[in-house]
Amino acid sequence: MKKIIKHVLVPEHKKLSEKEKKLLLEKYHITIRALPQILKTDPAIQDLSVKEGDVIMIKRKSPTAGESIYYRVVVSSE
């Protein structure tokens, strides 16, 4: 079975460290609850060893916009 993260249409996903997470929340003056969510069971983050409350940085490439960065907080599927 091929890994989904290797697919050309799946953008790069990276788990932020606790320090990076803190800096992100301070930079935008937000709480963790203000971030959009991503399920812990999402196939794109299965190899990242995530837990609930972790923040994922997603880099999306576009031929017209260059690169866009999005952030998501990991939540359980329950």
For the sheet containing 55-62, what is the strand order? Answer: 12-15, 55-62, 66-75, 37-39
Q: How does residue 1 score in pLDDT terms, banded at 50, 70 and 90?
A: very low
Q: What is the pLDDT of residues 25-75, one digit of tens each?
A: 999 999 999 999 999 998 888 889 999 999 999 998 888 878 999 999 999
The whole domain housing 66 covers 4-75
Domains of the chain: total: 1
Entry pTM: 0.85
Judge whether 72 and 38 are in contact, CB under 8 Å.
Answer: yes
**CATH label of the domain that carries residue 37:** 3.90.940.20
